[in-house]
Structure 1
Amino acid sequence: MNVRIHPTAIVEDGVEIGDGTSIWDNVHIRGPSRIGRDCIIGGKTYIAYGVEIGDRVKVNSFVYIPTGVTVETGVMIAAGTIFANDRFPRATTPDLSTLRGSGPDEHTEPTVVREGATLGAGCRLGPGIEIGAFALVGMGSVVTRSVFPHALVAGNPAKPVGLVCRCGERLYSGDPEAAKDGLLRCEICADTYRLKNGRLLAPAAARA
Structure 2
Amino acid sequence: PQAAVAATARLAPGVAVGAFAVIEDGVEVGEETQIGPQVYVGGGSRIGRSCLLYPQVVIREGVTVGDRVIIHSGTVVGSDGFGYARDAQGRSHKVPQVGRVIIEDEVELGANVTVDRATLGATRIGRGVKVDNLVQIAHNVVIGEGSIIVAQAGIAGSTEVGRHVTIAGQAGLVGHLKIGDRSVIGSQAGVAEDLPAGAAVLGSPAVPHMTAKRIWAACAKLPDLLRRVRELERRPGAGADRTGQEEPER
| TM-score, L = length of structure 1 | 0.66
Contact persistence 2:15–2:34 (CA under 8 A): yes
Higher helix share: 2
Give the Å deviation of 1:178: 6.3
For 1:174, the equivalent position in structure 2 comes to: 200
Provide closer, same or farther for how the CA distance between residues 11 and 62 of structure 1 changes in structure 2, counting only shifts above 3 A. same
Task: Find out whether 1:6 has 2:21 as its counterpart.
Answer: no
- 2:73 and 2:199 mapped to 1: Cα distance? 30
The sequence identity of aligned pairs, in percent, is: 25
1:157 aligned onto 2:183: no
Structure 1 runs of 4+ with >6 Å offset: 176-179
Deviation of the 1:152 alpha carbon: 0.2
Is residue 141 from structure 1 mapped to residue 153 from structure 2 by the alignment? yes
Question: Which structure's relative contact order is higher, taking Cα pairs within 8 Å and 6+ residues apart?
Answer: 1
1:49 alignment counterpart: 61
Which residue, out of 117, 128, 133, partners 1:85? Answer: 117
The answer to whether 1:124 aligns with 2:139 is no
Structure 2's unaligned 5+ residue stretches are 1-12, 79-98, 174-178, 187-197, 210-250
Aligned counterpart for 1:110 among listed residues 114, 122, 135: 122
Paired letter, 2:127: E
2:40 to 15, 21, 28: 28
1:109–1:127 CA contact under 8 A, matched in 2: no
The count of residues paired between Structure 1 and Structure 2 equals 151
- Unpaired segments of 5 or more residues in structure 1? 87-106, 164-171, 180-208
CA contact (8 A) 2:29 2:46 kept: yes
1: distance between equivalents of 2:30 and 2:117?
Answer: 25
After TM superposition, the score normalised by the length of structure 2 is: 0.55
- 2: distance between equivalents of 1:81 and 1:120? 8
Over alpha carbons, which structure has the higher Rg?
A: 2
User: What is the identity, as a one-letter code, of the residue corresponding to 1:157?
Assistant: G
